[in-house]
Structure 1
Amino acid sequence: MTTVAPTTWQPLEPALSVRRVLTLERVLAGEPEVVAGAGQLDRPVRWVHVAEAADVGVMLSGGEMVLTTGVLLAGDEAKQTEYIRSLHRAEAAAVVLGLGRAFPAPPEVMRRAAERCGLPLVVLHRPFPFAELTEEVQSRLVRRKFAAVSLSETVRTALTGLITAGAPLQRLLDEVARHSGCPVVVTNLAHRVLVTAGERSAVDDVLRDWERIARQAGGSAGDGWICTALGGGGERWGRLLLCGYRGETATGRLLADRAAEALVLHRMLSGGSAHTWEEQSAQCLLTDLVRGAVPARQLLPRARAAGLPVNRRTFVPLVVPGVDPARLDRVLRVLGLSGLAGELAPGVTAVLLSLARDQYAEVLTAHFASRLRTESGAPGTVVAAADPRAAWDDVPAGLREARHVADAVAESSAALDLPAVVRLKDVHLRGLVRLLRDDPHVQAFAERELHGLLCDTEPELLNVLRTYLATGRNKSRTAQLHHVSRPALYRRLETIQARLGVDLDDFEQAASAHIALLAHDAQQR
């Protein structure tokens, strides 16, 4: 996979508001004074318009800061009042009145009208060339417009480069989080969290009460929550949210739109993948639980946001070898069970059932295993189960126990008749040996007991010994499975006994060889 270096980017200048315009050096030279609408100074300024016409309101489209000397309004209070009202109706950002011959002092009629309308009215106590202010503001607006386009292209280029390099979905979201400086969350239409990115503690804060705040945020940008739809071909299938974005709303929407475009493209290009985003979300959560690198308590918000009920529940950890997560999800839906399914390793899928406290865990687990055998068409499908866990903190140990049972089952003889649900007590000696396989004493024991056969480049004798012990030292069955005559098998068994220095007719010596062989096989796997 090609490595894509992080792109450099510069944040946009803060949006021009009435308040910011009044702090510009050129404006301060005119000694500005806000005489009305002081609570509305954070209105964005889209443009600056110099006009002396009494009916200037009809020429505006909203967001303008109007500069005037009021020469055509002097002496007519009705005109002054209507002038302010017309600017309010046109949604002007503010009006700046230069004091002079027309108005040597702030006009009280205009002040009262502006206060009623909530329109900022600013007077300049010193003569001020309006052209300088117009030039300053317009140049800043143009620079911001260009910077916004540049940022848009920077983000698009970075994300497209990652997609071209084959980067996973998480890498794309990490890049979006880096640009936005806030948690990024991707959900399906039911608000179930699929992927997150951003600083871990900030993401956990967002997910702690996810369903409530996600539904409240909806599609609005209140409190820095910016939401954009994910979909294509007239069909929506998800949402992307910037959670707590601290920059300007327009910039946040731009980032969210660029991210949405990239995610849609990524989904299209990976349409042939075996894993959907939902499966990847479950896989990441279950893998993190099994590894134990992060305390289970810290993963609780992610589980809740992923749609898993966690309050006052009983958790049943399962591992199912050889069955893909999509099939397991279907069985969960058919049975109406709450749970997550995801791959822990190729061909090994974990399932975490979440049951109400009054439900019978063993009965429902057996029902799940039975239905899975029917759905998969494989009567030999085995579900490895750990004991139910009443506390979330015990779930990681339960998943590891179920994984251990599944591995022990995989190492069992094909002739072993197993029930649909296998637990730790069902794997007997094989399970114990597998637990101890990494112990140096066990490893040394296996090497010592089997040394005479392990040095042989031909594995046939080791295979004969494995079959002979697995069949309970049944010579007829062993000869049949290896397609040899009984006399030929006797000769091979004599060779095995000679090389190992044991008597396989002696139960204790045979048991010792069997345990050593189980340990050797477990270590090899």
Structure 2
Amino acid sequence: MESHSGITVQRALELPGLRAGLPEVVAGADRLHRTVRWVHAGEVPNIASLLKGGELLLTTGLGLGTRPAEQRAFVRRLADRGIAALVMELGPRFSRLPASIVDAARAAGLPLVQLHREVPFVAVTEEVHTEIVNGHYALLQQAEEVHRRATRALLDGGGVPQVLGILADFTANPVFLETPDGQLLYAASTGTGPVGADPLQVWEGMRGDRAARESPPTGALLVDVPGGGPDTGAVRARLVLLAVSGPLATVHRMAAERAAAGAGLRHASETATAAQGLDDRPWYDARRLDIDLLLWRLRDHPDLAAFVNRAIGPLREHDRTSRPPLLPTLQAYLAHAGRKAETARELHLNRQTLYNRLARIGELLGTDLDDPQTVLALSLALRARRHTN
């Protein structure tokens, strides 16, 4: 993936400012596709220490030194710094570039350009920077358009699959939403290319072993989806974009970051966290776990723990000291909406044993298990206990 937004060295040389200097590429002609992040002009010997990488450096060579060893070291330091290209204007300092400079640039794989005519460096700087800023703005517009489409899909009643589908179409690559430990929540594919309509096969291949979960493939793009509620800064999930059909670019990351800030993805990621501890299933529908999400968001509120203790505290105390435990019986009974025959079959009990256990539960709780309000309170308490100590 591109690490910076900008223009290529080739594009910079085609702009009027540098083109007026009659540029000649004398080294690194095969690397003119490098991205120019910024332009810097300078004549000091230690200029490499002032650079961050990705710069197009303009100089007349006053800081290169007079000895070949100094000149080679100067070029090597620039290459090690990761600049995009070195552009040297011929004139009073050099009427032609010394072999030591050209050879060092070739050895380091650094694009080296000599200008045969004098050009105002400030004009070149302004021109290239304008091109970079305009390009960056264009990327922002593309990413913002993806964000608008995703937001519109959510407002129109769509969900996470629609948002991921929009991202997949934009990047022309499969997109996944997964938990931080690599468990899949949703997947989407562009429907074209080698993976076609089966992104799950790609994800399973990527996540087939533990090492793959911890070290995503080269070229993958990962974007954190922050949670809401009291732990706003916590990471609840992440978007994973894989470079399957083509490379991923800076604009793809920008679009993914905007999509990650959408309420739908946050909802899905928080619901995945809230669902931890439920019965082991291959997947859960996030739209049917709103109650669990609400209880999870209240997990640190003392009233929730007090409610759980009032509702099922006596059963919890019973199960710590006596056998058989009664909480599993109550949970199965409520899961089957009070249908005793189905409850007995799930627990492998005869009906009379189940009746005796239900009677004991009602006695310990001092309540009627046939009362709808009681059933509702007990169901909520059983769900909420996973989120309380």
TM-score band (shorter)?
A: 0.5 to 0.7
Going from structure 1 to structure 2, the CA distance change for 1:70 and 1:255 (only over 3 Å counts) comes to same
CA distance in 1, matches of 2:248, 2:114: 28
1:380 to 328, 338, 341: 341
CA distance in 2, matches of 1:340, 1:211: 15
Going from structure 1 to structure 2, the CA distance change for 1:181 and 1:14 (only over 3 Å counts) comes to farther
Deviation string 1:262-301 (CA, Å, 9 cap, x unpaired) is: 1566507x97xxxx5699xxxxxxxxxxxxxxxxxxxxxx
Matches within 5 A, 1:50-129: 50-73=41-64, 75-129=66-120
CA distance in 2, matches of 1:254, 1:144: 13
Conserved 8 A contact 1:163-1:266: no
Matched residues, percent identical?
A: 31
Matches within 5 A, 1:171-186: 171-186=162-177
Q: Which residue of the partner structure matches residue 256 of structure 2?
A: 256
CA distance in 1, matches of 2:168, 2:22: 42
Conserved 8 A contact 2:28-2:105: yes
Q: Which residue of the partner structure matches residue 150 of structure 1?
A: 141
Q: Which residue of the partner structure matches residue 159 of structure 1?
A: 150
Deviation at 1:340, TM superposition (A): 6.0
Going from structure 1 to structure 2, the CA distance change for 1:340 and 1:219 (only over 3 Å counts) comes to closer
CA distance in 1, matches of 2:58, 2:78: 12
CA RMSD in angstroms, aligned pairs only: 4.2
Going from structure 1 to structure 2, the CA distance change for 1:162 and 1:177 (only over 3 Å counts) comes to same
CA distance in 2, matches of 1:130, 1:79: 24
Conserved 8 A contact 2:225-2:260: yes
Q: Secondary structure at the match of 1:122?
A: strand
Going from structure 1 to structure 2, the CA distance change for 1:152 and 1:47 (only over 3 Å counts) comes to same
Conserved 8 A contact 1:16-1:44: yes
Conserved 8 A contact 1:228-1:256: yes
Deviation at 1:253, TM superposition (A): 1.6
CA distance in 2, matches of 1:112, 1:158: 52
Q: Which residue of the partner structure matches residue 201 of structure 2?
A: 208
Going from structure 1 to structure 2, the CA distance change for 1:235 and 1:373 (only over 3 Å counts) comes to same
CA distance in 1, matches of 2:213, 2:117: 46
Going from structure 1 to structure 2, the CA distance change for 1:174 and 1:109 (only over 3 Å counts) comes to same
CA distance in 2, matches of 1:136, 1:146: 15
Deviation string 1:292-332 (CA, Å, 9 cap, x unpaired) is: xxxxxxxxxxxxxxxxxxxxxxxxxxxxxxxxxx8xx72xx
Work out the number of aligned pairs and report it: 290
Conserved 8 A contact 1:227-1:241: yes
Deviation at 1:52, TM superposition (A): 2.4
Q: Which residue of the partner structure matches residue 323 of structure 2?
A: none
Deviation string 1:144-175 (CA, Å, 9 cap, x unpaired) is: 23334434444444433443444322222233
Matches within 5 A, 1:14-413: 15-24=6-15, 26-38=17-29, 40-73=31-64, 75-201=66-192, 202-204=195-197, 206-214=199-207, 216=212, 222-223=218-219, 225-232=220-227, 233=231, 234-244=233-243, 246=246, 249-263=249-263, 266-267=266-267, 330=279, 333=280, 376=336, 378-381=339-342
Could you state the TM-score of these two structures normalised by the residue count of structure 2? Answer: 0.60
Conserved 8 A contact 1:21-1:27: yes
Deviation at 1:72, TM superposition (A): 4.9
Deviation string 1:421-441 (CA, Å, 9 cap, x unpaired) is: xxxxxxxxxxxxxxxxxxxxx
CA distance in 2, matches of 1:94, 1:226: 27
Deviation at 1:111, TM superposition (A): 2.0
Conserved 8 A contact 2:189-2:199: no
Going from structure 1 to structure 2, the CA distance change for 1:41 and 1:131 (only over 3 Å counts) comes to same
CA distance in 2, matches of 1:203, 1:257: 24
Conserved 8 A contact 2:160-2:264: no
Deviation at 1:185, TM superposition (A): 1.5
Query: Unaligned regions of 5+ residues in structure 2, if any?
Result: 287-330, 347-389
Letter in 1 for 2:339: A
Query: Unaligned regions of 5+ residues in structure 1, if any?
Result: 1-12, 280-325, 344-370, 383-418, 421-525
CA distance in 2, matches of 1:32, 1:161: 48
Deviation string 1:417-462 (CA, Å, 9 cap, x unpaired) is: xx88xxxxxxxxxxxxxxxxxxxxxxxxxxxxxxxxxxxxxxxxxx
Conserved 8 A contact 1:169-1:263: no
Could you state the TM-score of these two structures normalised by the residue count of structure 1? Answer: 0.46
CA distance in 2, matches of 1:162, 1:129: 50
Deviation string 1:464-514 (CA, Å, 9 cap, x unpaired) is: xxxxxxxxxxxxxxxxxxxxxxxxxxxxxxxxxxxxxxxxxxxxxxxxxxx
Report which structure shows greater RCO (CA 8 Å, sep ≥6): 2
Deviation at 1:96, TM superposition (A): 0.7
Conserved 8 A contact 2:72-2:101: yes
CA distance in 1, matches of 2:90, 2:213: 46
Q: Which residue of the partner structure matches residue 379 of structure 2?
A: none
Conserved 8 A contact 2:236-2:266: no
CA distance in 1, matches of 2:168, 2:178: 15
Going from structure 1 to structure 2, the CA distance change for 1:219 and 1:81 (only over 3 Å counts) comes to same
Letter in 2 for 1:119: L
Deviation string 1:376-430 (CA, Å, 9 cap, x unpaired) is: 4633339xxxxxxxxxxxxxxxxxxxxxxxxxxxxxxxxxxxx88xxxxxxxxxx
More moved, 239-248 vs 39-48:
239-248
CA distance in 1, matches of 2:234, 2:46: 47
